Every structure is written in structure tokens, then in C-alpha cells.
């Protein structure tokens, strides 16, 4: 199989039969999605566990930890479009995506080890440096993997299936790394237990190279038009004139802020407000298992009503259920588990639907501009989400300092109430705004199919023109042509 083969997709489908011929086999689909598990196993502690770990185990204050994580995220935002352009521009015999994924692995392995297992006395400079290195590898991996997934199929619903399975593996990775500290809590005495972040780091180090090897060896890339070089000025102009892109990136930015606040404050809420102790990791596990189980129903809903309408339903559900946290009493793990089961129902809906919708926005731009800019568009999408998380982590950790929250110690009632309000109100407000924004999204299944027909026709026309040019032979100047008679070769 060549590097640009289209495994499981058949040959150059026409617009009429693209749905049937563009369906990936389940084996290829899961092989492609496998790296999502260690990706999420890294992403979860970067937001939830590591800020809390460095706040508790180093001399850094909560505000200083938040500032470092925020700066590192903004560095990640800067590298996203740059590496997205590189991913679009440079093609090898493997295609445009897989070699970048492979290149990211050694960078990730080293930086994960240094960040998740810091030496004693590690301070701000150490953390900042290794977070910067980690995010270079992270960007190479995530942007290339998402762009690869967007190009595997041109079909509207099949794209939801690809991103949905990827989201299931993302949630599975989160669930698995949360199970590790729970299991050690059951089977090892407290003095022998490794730190939860240490276990999470080793999971990434062991499984990332294995899953990447399976993915790149099992699934090829679809041949797509060579993208043109794209400058920052053109990118800004693109944002100004592309309304679907504006709406999607704005919604993703806001979602990143809301999700980042609740993620970075979760352990503080569970430990200091709800007094759940070691059950806190179990509660996260319940949340992600609920999200994993409900990905297939969300895919079904998106197929029934359309992707952007499914996002609206998801956002409204989130906004209306998060205030339930106000009703929870202290020290009641069963009620807390029930609440987080409800909250987790659509946990994975927004991320995979936004990524599936972005593939349609790429097609819309290709029709409008004639350029193929998948890598750039997915880099912009990951950038907005990371900006949201950067702002959220900086805000949340600074708010903890301002409220005077000291984890594991007695805190004032007013401080604990403030923590609850900061946890709940932004998520509630942002969810309603995102629902309103997506209600104005202009691209649906009908428009996407029309765009795919235009793009397919361009490919066929270009192929026909190339064949015509190759078959017409030029007339030799020395060949006499008389009386207008057609030329005949000996």
C-alpha cells in the first residue's frame, strides 16, 4: 500500500456514490483513533492534576503555577498555526500528516518524563522550559492527527463517525489514567503509593509510541490537493470574511474557557467544598465513563438533526445541569456521583462535533477560495481552544489566591462559596452563549454535499484536462501540411 493510498475508501468516489464508498472499516477507524487515548491521558492532567500537583508539592504559589501554565498555553497557541502550515506544506512518501506524528513521539516522551516526574527542588524556570518543549511535541501530534482524520473521508455523516470514534478513544484514555490511581489506592498502602501524575506520565510514555506505530502502519492518507502557502495577513483576512469559521472558532474559544475553569478547579471543589477526599478521582472517573457511554447517542443525534443543532442541544443541556452542583451536600459521594453522571452525559459532544464541523468549513473555504488549508484550519481550532484553556487556568488559579483557598486546610465559608460561584456561573453563561451562536451557523448537510460536489467536479475536470494535454501531440515544424488536410504520421 502506498503512502497516499485511501484504505477502506475505494477509488475516487463520484458525488453520487461517495457515501457508500467513503466509509472506513471499523478496524481502520479504530487503528487511526488509537493515539487519541494517550493524547487525552496527557491532556487531562495538564489541566486538572498538574496545576494542583505543582501548587501542593513545590514552593510555587497557585497564582505562579497558573501564570506558568497560561504562558505555556499561549506558547502552544503561537506554535499551532506555524506547525499547521508546515503540516499542510511538506509532503513525503507517507503523505502530509504521518511523518509529523512520528516526529512528535520522542519529543513527547522526554518532556512528559520531565514534567510529570520533576526532581526535588524543581521551580518556575524548570517547569516553564519543559512545558514549552512538551507543547511543541503536543502540537505536532494533535494538529497532524486531527487534520489526517478530516481528510480520511469527504462524507458529512462519516466525518462525525470518524471524530466520534476518536472522541471515544480520547475519553477512554482519560478513564484509564483515572483508574490507575484508584487501583493503587485499593491495593497499595498509602506510604507506598506513587503520585497520581507519575502513573499518568508512565501511561503516556508506554502507550504513545505503541498506538502511533499501529495508526501510521495500518491507515494510509487520502491524496488531497497540495495546499498553497498562507501568510498571517491572509489568515486574518480569511477570518474576517469566513462567517462559518468565525462562529466555530468563537464558540470553541468560549467552550475552552468554560471547560478550562471547571477542569482546573475540579480537585479544589471536590476536596475543599464537597469534602470527598480520595473519592475525587472516582468522581472524575464516573464523569468520563458517562461521557464515553453517551458518545454513540450524540453521533445518532447529530445524524438526525445535523451537527450544529446537536451542539446547541449539548450546550443547553450543560448550561441547565451545572447548577445542580449547588444542591450537593458535603461528604456525600453517592449524590456527587449521580450529579457528575448527569453532567458527563454530553461531555464529549462539543469537542468531536466542533472538529467534525471544521472539516465542513474546510470544504466551504476550498469552494470559495480554491485552496486546501486543512492543517491551518485545524491549527486555528486547536489554538482557540488552547487560548480558552490558557485564560481559564490563569484566571482560576489567580482566583484561588484571591479567595485564600488552602487545599486540605480549613477555609472560610465565604471563600468556599466564591469557589462554587466561579466554578458554576461561567460554565452556565458560556453554554447559553454557545447555543445562541450555533443557532446562526450557516452550514448544514445540504450545503456540505453541494460543496463536495463542486470539489469533486473540480478534481474530475482537472484530471480530464491533464489527460487531454498529455494525448495531444504538437505538430512538428518540419512536417508539411497542405490543403488543410489532417496530419498523418508514418
414, part of any domain: yes
pTM of the shown model: 0.71
pLDDT tens digit sequence for 69-78: 889 888 877 7
Q: How many domains does the chain divide into?
A: 1
**Residue 476: enclosing H or E segment and its boundaries?**
none
Q: Are the C-beta atoms of 267 and 280 separated by less than 8 Å?
A: yes
**Phi, psi angles (nearest 5°) of residue 95:** 110, -155
Q: Are the C-beta atoms of 273 and 131 separated by less than 8 Å?
A: no
Cα within 13 Å of Cα(92), Cβ side: 11
pLDDT tens digit sequence for 117-126: 998 888 889 9
Q: Whole-angstrom Cα distance, residue 161 to residue 22?
A: 12
417, part of any domain: yes
pLDDT of the residue at 417: 92
Q: Residue 140 sits in a domain of what CATH number? A: 1.20.1250.20
Q: Whole-angstrom Cα distance, residue 434 to residue 342?
A: 20
481, part of any domain: no
484, part of any domain: no
246, part of any domain: yes
Percent of the chain past pLDDT 70, that is, above it, reads 80
Distances (CA, A) of 213 to 31, 152, 165, 459, 485: 10, 18, 18, 32, 63
Q: Which residues pair with 92 in a beta bridge?
A: 95
Domain that holds residue 268: 25-220+227-464
Q: Are the C-beta atoms of 238 and 361 separated by less than 8 Å?
A: no
Within 152-242, residue ranges assigned H as helices are 156-187, 196-218, 232-241
> Could you give the dihedral angle defined by the CA atoms of residues 179, 181, 185 and 191, in that order, rounded to the nearest 10 degrees?
170
pLDDT tens digit sequence for 443-467: 877 777 777 777 777 666 666 666 6
301, part of any domain: yes
18, part of any domain: no
Residue 231 vs residue 400, higher pLDDT? 400
Q: Which of 2-11, 43-52, 84-93, 425-434 has the lowest mean pLDDT?
A: 2-11
251, part of any domain: yes
Amino acid at each position: 500500500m502506498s503512502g497516499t493510498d485511501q484504505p477502506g475508501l475505494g477509488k475516487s468516489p463520484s458525488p453520487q456514490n461517495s457515501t457508500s464508498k467513503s466509509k472506513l472499516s471499523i478496524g481502520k477507524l479504530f487503528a487511526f483513533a488509537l493515539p487519541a487515548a494517550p493524547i487525552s491521558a496527557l491532556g487531562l492532567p495538564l489541566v486538572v492534576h498538574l496545576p494542583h500537583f505543582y501548587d501542593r508539592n513545590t514552593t510555587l504559589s497557585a497564582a505562579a503555577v497558573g501564570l506558568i501554565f497560561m504562558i505555556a498555553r499561549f506558547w502552544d497557541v503561537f506554535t499551532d498555526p506555524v506547525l499547521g502550515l508546515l503540516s499542510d506544506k511538506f509532503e513525503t512518501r507517507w503523505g502530509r500528516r504521518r511523518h509529523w506524528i512520528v516526529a512528535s513521539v520522542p519529543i513527547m516522551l522526554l518532556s512528559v518524563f520531565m514534567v510529570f516526574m520533576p526532581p526535588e527542588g524543581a521551580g518556575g524556570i524548570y517547569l516553564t522550559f519543559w512545558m514549552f518543549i512538551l507543547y511543541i511535541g503536543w502540537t505536532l501530534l494533535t494538529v497532524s492527527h486531527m487534520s489526517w482524520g478530516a481528510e480520511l473521508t469527504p462524507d458529512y455523516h462519516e466525518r462525525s463517525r470518524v471524530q466520534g470514534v476518536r472522541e471515544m478513544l480520547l475519553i477512554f484514555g482519560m478513564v484509564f489514567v483515572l483508574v490507575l490511581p484508584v487501583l493503587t489506592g485499593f491495593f497499595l498502602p498509602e506510604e507506598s503509593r506513587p503520585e497520581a501524575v507519575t502513573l499518568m506520565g508512565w501511561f503516556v510514555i508506554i502507550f504513545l509510541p505503541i498506538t502511533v506505530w499501529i495508526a501510521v502502519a495500518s491507515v494510509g492518507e487520502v491524496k488531497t490537493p497540495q495546499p498553497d502557502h498562507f501568510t498571517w495577513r491572509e489568515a486574518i483576512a480569511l477570518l474576517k470574511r469566513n462567517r462559518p469559521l468565525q462562529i466555530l472558532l468563537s464558540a470553541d474559544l468560549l467552550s475552552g474557557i468554560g471547560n478550562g475553569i471547571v477542569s482546573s478547579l475540579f480537585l479544589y471543589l471536590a476536596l475543599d467544598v464537597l469534602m470527598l477526599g480520595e473519592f475525587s478521582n472516582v468522581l472524575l472517573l464516573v464523569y468520563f465513563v458517562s461521557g464515553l457511554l453517551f458518545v454513540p447517542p450524540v453521533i445518532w443525534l447529530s445524524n438526525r438533526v445535523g451537527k450544529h443543532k446537536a451542539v446547541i442541544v449539548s450546550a443547553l443541556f450543560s448550561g441547565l445541569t451545572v447548577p445542580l452542583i449547588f444542591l450537593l451536600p458535603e461528604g456525600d459521594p453517592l449524590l456527587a456521583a449521580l450529579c457528575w453522571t448527569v453532567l458527563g452525559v454530553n461531555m464529549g459532544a462539543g469537542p468531536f462535533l466542533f472538529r467534525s464541523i471544521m472539516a465542513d468549513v474546510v470544504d466551504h473555504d476550498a469552494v470559495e477560495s480554491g485552496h486546501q488549508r486543512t492543517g491551518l484550519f485545524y491549527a486555528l481550532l486547536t489554538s482557540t481552544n488552547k487560548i480558552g484553556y490558557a485564560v481559564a487556568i490563569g484566571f482560576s488559579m489567580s482566583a484561588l489566591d484571591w479567595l485564600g483557598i488552602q487545599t486540605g486546610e480549613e477555609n472560610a465559608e465565604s471563600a468556599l462559596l466564591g469557589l462554587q460561584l466561579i466554578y458554576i456561573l461561567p460554565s452556565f453563561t458560556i453554554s447559553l452563549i454557545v447555543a445562541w451562536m450555533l443557532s446562526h451557523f450557516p452550514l448544514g448537510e445540504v450545503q456540505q454535499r453541494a460543496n463536495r460536489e463542486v470539489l469533486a467536479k473540480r478534481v474530475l475536470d482537472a484530471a480530464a484536462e491533464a489527460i487531454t494535454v498529455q494525448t495531444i501531440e504538437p505538430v512538428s515544424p518540419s512536417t508539411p501540411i497542405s490543403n488543410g488536410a489532417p496530419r498523418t504520421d508514418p
